[in-house]
Structure formats: structure tokens, C-alpha cells
């Protein structure tokens, strides 16, 4: 079991991993490419997923949709990290399977 973190920005990956380690004893697995993260999920079941909304290969919504279609991953909590406050984006993310949202820049107290 691990916390899966997917963000194309290396600084964000480091920050989110540090915050996750401070909140949980679970190991973190970080990916800067959502396709690589999905491949990892073929053989692993994360306890929690943190995923960025804006990424070049797949958007966070596309990632969530593909993740939710994978066997055994339907109940894993997914938190989307986003600067988007638009109701449309959040609605699409929820429809794809997002559990909750955290706004960027991520504050330790909110996390």
C-alpha cells in the first residue's frame, strides 16, 4: 500500500510527497507522467491518489477516468490538486471519480 502522487511539476511532487509523509506512515510513489502512474497501478493498489489537474499527457480528469476503469480501484480515494475554481471543472472531475479537491498553492494546514 502506498500513496500515489501524480504531477508533471517536480517541485509540486516533492512538496506533496513531503506533506503526505507528514500525514501518513504510508510510503509515497511519485510520477511526473500520468501514463507511467497508470502502468504502475496495473500491479499496485494505492491507498490514496493525489493528482494534478493540468498535465501535458493526460489531464487529471482523464487520469481519474482511466484509473476508475481499472479492476479493484473503484473505491480508492482520489484528491485532485488544482488551481481551477470553476464549478464545471470540479463537476467533471467528480463525474470521473474524484473524491475531493485541494487548491493550489497547497497549504499544509488544508492538506
CB atoms within 10 A of CB 77: 13
Neighbours of 44 (CB within 10 A): 13
With a cut of 90, say whether residue 86 has pLDDT above it.
Answer: no
pLDDT tens, position by position, 40-63: 999 999 999 999 999 999 999 999
Q: Residue 47's pLDDT is what?
A: 97
pLDDT in tens, 10-23: 999 999 999 999 99
Q: Is the pLDDT of residue 6 over 90?
A: yes
SS3 27: coil
Amino acid at each position: 500500500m502506498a500513496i500515489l502522487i501524480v504531477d508533471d511539476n517536480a517541485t509540486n511532487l516533492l512538496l506533496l510527497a513531503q506533506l503526505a509523509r507528514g500525514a501518513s506512515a504510508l510510503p509515497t510513489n511519485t510520477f511526473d507522467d500520468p501514463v507511467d502512474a497508470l502502468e504502475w497501478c496495473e500491479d499496485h493498489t494505492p491507498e490514496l491518489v493525489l493528482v494534478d489537474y493540468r498535465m501535458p499527457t493526460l489531464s487529471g480528469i482523464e487520469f481519474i477516468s482511466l484509473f476508475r476503469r481499472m479492476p479493484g480501484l473503484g473505491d480508492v480515494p482520489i484528491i485532485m490538486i488544482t488551481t481551477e475554481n470553476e464549478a464545471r471543472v470540479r463537476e467533471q472531475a467528480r463525474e470521473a471519480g474524484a473524491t475531493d479537491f485541494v487548491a493550489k498553492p497547497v497549504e499544509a494546514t488544508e492538506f
